[in-house]
Amino acid sequence: DPYALLEDGTLDLPGDDEFSGQTSAALTKDLDFDNGQGSARVYFAAAWDPEPNKDIGDEAADKIQEARSINLQTAIQEKEDWFRGYVEEAPMPENAPENVTKVARRALVSIVQLWDDETVNEHGFSGNLPAAVTTQPPYGADWIRDGAYFDYVIDRFMSGDGKHDWVNQHNRWYMSLQQNPDGPCPEHCNDNMEYYDYADLVPQASSVPEGGWAMNYYADGDPAGPIGGEIDETAYGAWTFWDHYAVTGNESYLQRIYPAIQLVGDRLTYDCVESETGLQCPRPEDDNTKNTQTILGGASTYAGLDAATKAAAEMYE
């Protein structure tokens, strides 16, 4: 414990050559008490620069000082106005009590906070929606199971009649991460998931078959959880890809996204069917590490196949 060591005057903290999980650290600074008082200002900031190992501490401190000069009420008003541009025109539950309306509006505010259209993954695509803004993993990641419902809401209600460009970009980000070993690069060729094993936690449930995804992803496209190829998430991929077209009728979008829908359809039609019953094959579902076969996988598989069938019919009349 660094604090106990510091009490004994020890500044050389042991254990800096190896660690497992979270670590403890300490910052020290000498203070001048010549006049009976000593003080220091400590800045805590997160900053990033494209140049590796660049010291940008001074720039971060300048930004903090700049922020300290902003009037709090002005900042609050500007932020409220910014949110209002996205949620003010959204339809609310009809004749609902005020507390219900507040919760509904707050849900839209949360989605606006989550949207990240800047962080680029290894294939050059951006646009992710983590399940929650949180420092406690794994919810600071994007699940397709969650993201499909975010897409549904964004397409219909955000900014009044939908922010279709967000969903288009979000789904293209999903497509770029779908397991597709023989696909054309860099458009749709993720092939690093066949033997996916997240820290050797649950290797029996980690493999990601063609057409599937890892459990969830960070904004840069790195897997954020130990389970791969969940059947419900696979199916939700096809569902949300089709649903965006169903809302917008954007033919160029459908032509571009269809190869991803087809992979899901092929997976659920040919590779993931239990021969004895005709049901969906046992696979991890709802972040369960075991291969199970429940209504969760069944209902989502039905929705995914329904979406893939409609997409195929639209593509080939």
CA distance 238 to 175: 10
What does the pLDDT read at residue 26? 77
d(CA 187, CA 139): 28
Question: Which is nearest to 126 in space by CA: 184, 165, 79, 179?
Answer: 165
| pTM, to two decimals | 0.80
Question: Which of 270, 261, 250 lies closest to 188, judged by CA?
Answer: 261
Q: How many CA atoms lie within 13 A of 123 on its CB side?
A: 23
**SS3 of 119-170:** EECCCCCEEECCCCCCCCCCCCCECHHHHHHHHHHHHHHCCCCCCHHHHHHH
**Residue range 59-73, pLDDT digits in tens:** 888 988 898 899 999
The Cα 190–Cα 183 span in angstroms is: 8
Please report the pLDDT score of residue 289 as a whole number.
87
Write down the pLDDT at residue 41: 87
Q: Return left, alpha or beta for 203; rule: phi > 0 is left, psi -120 to 50 is alpha, else beta.
A: alpha
Residue type, 63: K
Residues in the chain with pLDDT values less than 70 = 16, 18-23, 135-138, 192-205
Q: How far, in Å, CA of 61 to CA of 57, rounded?
A: 6
pLDDT of amino acid 222? 87
- Using one digit for the tens of pLDDT, what is the confidence trace for 129-187? 999 877 666 688 999 999 999 999 999 999 988 999 999 999 999 999 999 988 888 78
Residue pointed to by tokens 């992803």: 217
